[in-house]
Amino acid sequence: MAKEAAEIIKRYDHLKYKRDNWDTHYQELADYMLPRKSDVVKKRSRGEKRMELIYDGTALQSIDLMAAFLHGMLTSGASPWFHLDIKNEALNRDDEVRGWLQDTSMRMMQAFQRSNFETEVHEAYVDLVVFGTACMFCEMDRDKLRFSTRHISEFYVSEDQYGMVDTVYRLYESTAEQAVERFGLESVGDFIRKTFEKKPDEEVEILHVVSPRTDRDVTKPNNLNMPFMSVYICKKSEMIISEGGFEELPYVVPRFLKATGEVMGRSPAMTALPDVKMINLMSKTIIQAAQKQIDPPLLVPDDGFMLPIRTQPGGLNFFRSGTRETITPLNTGANIPIGLSMEEQRRAAIRQAFYIDQILTAGSAQMTATEVIQRQEERMRVIGPVLGRLMNELLRPLIDRVFALMLRADMLAVPPTSLQGIDIDVEYVSPLARAQKSSGLNNTMRALEILLPLAEGLPVADHIDPDGLVRHITDSLGVPKVTLKTQREVDQIRQQRQQAQQEALQRQQEQEDVASTAQAAQAVRMVSK
């Protein structure tokens, strides 16, 4: 055990060494744009002032706005942002399967809403915008989901051969009392035990490691043979205090953007950092220049004037009689308008780095419908690549993890037998997903506007599948499937309508036959007379 702990700590030290340059970068980003998390390299005391370097709030406002945009457009708590689906069309028409998928999606959304997901995922979005990498832990605590976003300075990650994060090392501080409460007095070892007895509030360093388990017995379904190993180590004593496992990776580690060959992500804040540093220096200089113009330095004669200068309103300064010298302000030559113009240029560059123009210019009352559509499509083209990565590295692993946790906790209904061995897909119905789909819908509506006037003279309807068209429109608009009839119900309605039409035609034909027979009989009677 001691040898294994030493090897784990050695790998941790290696990952930490490889990330030294990143930590220096993170510290600078936090100092200028996220001061409440500016304890990456520099360890600050709680309650210490952290805004000394900030003279302009453009970057801080842009970060808040972009994080709120991602939160509202991807995982809004106001409306469902995903539902479960399967690709098998035959099973999709099955009422039992359809009902289970809808029920499961609803239960999962309710579990998200009852948890602390909203607050923690917002912190993850902030970390993504500033640091380019976020880390959120997901677990089940007393039949309730619990999430926690980890500080950038705590975790170190490694990728698999496909570029997906599969290993997380997290070094955090915990009081000795908390460690004993979680792991038990007999498991924490002598160091934590003695610390707990003397100073229970003293903090100790604990290393948590989650990585794929290479040597496991799949026939033994216990914690020590799960796909991912989980090890807690007391860093000071180099002792394993807890060992277990997970069925899936409990950490979700999304990257905003990622350069080839790098593990950690890149962020808009990294792009904006030079402009942010420049505008803070410019703002400080302009403030000083304005102070000099408002309260300028004074030129005072050096002959015969010995009293202190009174610059307050109504202040009196006495000169020796007969002298021509006076107290005059010193012209510093400051050109504040040019400085303000240069500041605005830097602010525009910062807002552009954080996609603020695309976020705020979705449309206006003066714009036509076509202009709004074009602006929406432009926004999706710019932000689309980022959203694709977030869906793969944040949303999909998160939903898979929550689904597995709830299934093992018996918080979901028993799936139908027909779903055994069938992969369940996730369909995103967030506002942003609907906006992406709306581009295809707009093209469809334009095509219909062109084709419908031609339907009188050309067989246009022969080329259009009405059922497919309805499904496409409702899917693009994000209409809940629970509000739509199943294909089986639609077929039954059509069969009933066709049968009713046939019966009506048959009755009409019978009436016509009766009338024709009566007319013929009347004609025969007339001839016989």
Q: pLDDT (tens digit, 9 = 90+) per residue, 333-361?
A: 667 777 778 888 889 999 999 988 877 76
What's the rounded Cα separation, in Å, for the pair 365 and 466? 34
Closest CA to 34 of 51, 21, 12: 51
Place of tokens 């499509």: 377
The SS3 call for residue 109 is helix
The SS3 call for residue 523 is helix
Cβ–Cβ under 8 Å, residues 116 and 123: no
For residue 463, name the pLDDT band (cuts at 50, 70, 90): confident
Q: What is the pLDDT of residue 46?
A: 75
Residue 362 pLDDT exceeds 60? no
Q: What is the pLDDT of residue 143?
A: 84
Q: What is the pLDDT of residue 275?
A: 93
Which amino acid, one-letter code, is at 28? E
Residue 498 pLDDT exceeds 70? yes
Residue 189 pLDDT exceeds 80? yes
Which amino acid, one-letter code, is at 158? S
Mean pLDDT for 184-188 is 88
Residue 44 pLDDT exceeds 80? no
In angstroms, what CA-CA distances link 242 with 154, 185, 406, 408?
19, 12, 24, 22
Token digits of residue 94: 């099955």
What's the rounded Cα separation, in Å, for the pair 507 and 499? 12
Closest CA to 447 of 416, 469, 421, 419: 469
Closest CA to 231 of 169, 286, 184, 179: 169
> Within 10 A of 272 (CB to CB), how many other CB atoms are there?
26
Please state which of the ranges 239-253, 263-277, 370-384 shows the lowest mean pLDDT.
Answer: 370-384
Please state which of the ranges 9-18, 148-157, 447-456 shows the lowest mean pLDDT.
Answer: 447-456
Q: Per residue in 98-134, pLDDT tens?
A: 889 989 999 999 999 999 999 999 999 999 999 999 9
The length of the chain, given as a count of residues: 529
b (16+ CB within 10 A) / e for 468-501: eeeeeeebbebeebeeeeeeeeeeeeeeeeeeee
The rounded mean pLDDT for the chain is 83
Which amino acid, one-letter code, is at 355? Y
Token digits of residue 281: 């220096």
Residue 316 pLDDT exceeds 70? no
What are residue 209's DSSP bridge partners?
169, 231
Q: What is the pLDDT of residue 482?
A: 65
Q: Per residue in 257-288, pLDDT tens?
A: 998 889 999 999 999 999 999 998 888 888 87
Q: What is the pLDDT of residue 98?
A: 84
Mean pLDDT for 138-150 is 92
For residue 441, name the pLDDT band (cuts at 50, 70, 90): low
Cβ–Cβ under 8 Å, residues 206 and 232: yes
Token digits of residue 167: 């290993």
Q: What is the pLDDT of residue 306?
A: 62
> Within 10 A of 340 (CB to CB), how many other CB atoms are there?
14
* Cα end-to-end span (Å), the chain: 122
Closest CA to 485 of 501, 471, 499, 469: 471
Residue 365 pLDDT exceeds 60? no
Mean pLDDT for 33-46 is 85
What's the rounded Cα separation, in Å, for the pair 63 and 269? 8
Exposed / middle / buried, residue 386 (Cβ in 10 Å: 0-12, 13-18, 19+): middle
Place of tokens 């990952």: 15
> Within 10 A of 93 (CB to CB), how many other CB atoms are there?
15
Closest CA to 445 of 484, 472, 483: 472
Contacts of 148 (CB under 8 A, 6+ apart): 120, 136, 137
Give the DSSP H/E element, type plus range, for residue 17.
helix 2-18
DSSP per residue, 333-366: ---HHHHHHHHHHHHHHHHHHTTHHHHH-S--TT
Q: What is the pLDDT of residue 338?
A: 75
Residue 304 pLDDT exceeds 60? no
Percentage, residues of the chain above pLDDT 70: 84
Closest CA to 41 of 17, 60, 25: 25
What are residue 137's DSSP bridge partners?
148, 251
Residue 363 pLDDT exceeds 60? no
Q: What is the pLDDT of residue 503?
A: 84
What's the rounded Cα separation, in Å, for the pair 526 and 292? 123
- Model confidence, pTM: 0.81
Q: What is the pLDDT of residue 481?
A: 66
The residue ranking higher by pLDDT, 474 or 61, is: 61
Q: What is the pLDDT of residue 207?
A: 94
Each as own residue / partner, the long-range contacts of residues 191-197 (CB below 8 Å, 24 or more positions apart, any chain) are 191/234, 191/236, 191/237, 191/239, 192/234, 192/237, 192/241
In angstroms, what CA-CA distances link 255 with 201, 241, 390, 391, 431?
35, 31, 7, 11, 21
What's the rounded Cα separation, in Å, for the pair 379 and 116? 30
The residue ranking higher by pLDDT, 432 or 232, is: 232
Residue 62 pLDDT exceeds 90? yes
For residue 29, name the pLDDT band (cuts at 50, 70, 90): very high
Q: Per residue in 68-109, pLDDT tens?
A: 989 988 898 888 888 888 887 778 777 788 889 989 999 999
What are residue 156's DSSP bridge partners?
169
Cβ–Cβ under 8 Å, residues 240 and 126: no
Percentage, residues of the chain above pLDDT 90: 38
For residue 476, name the pLDDT band (cuts at 50, 70, 90): low
For residue 320, name the pLDDT band (cuts at 50, 70, 90): low
Q: What is the pLDDT of residue 177?
A: 93
DSSP per residue, 44-71: PPTT----TT-S--HHHHHHHHHHHHHH
Q: What is the pLDDT of residue 209?
A: 95
What's the rounded Cα separation, in Å, for the pair 61 and 471? 41
DSSP code for 242? E
What are the backbone angles phi and psi of residue 412, rounded to the nearest 5°? -120, 155
The residue ranking higher by pLDDT, 528 or 235, is: 235
The residue ranking higher by pLDDT, 292 or 114, is: 114
Cβ–Cβ under 8 Å, residues 135 and 143: no
Residue 478 pLDDT exceeds 80? no
For residue 52, name the pLDDT band (cuts at 50, 70, 90): confident
What's the rounded Cα separation, in Å, for the pair 350 and 32? 13
Q: What is the pLDDT of residue 449?
A: 75
Q: Per residue in 388-417, pLDDT tens?
A: 888 889 999 999 999 999 999 999 998 888
What's the rounded Cα separation, in Å, for the pair 218 and 195? 39
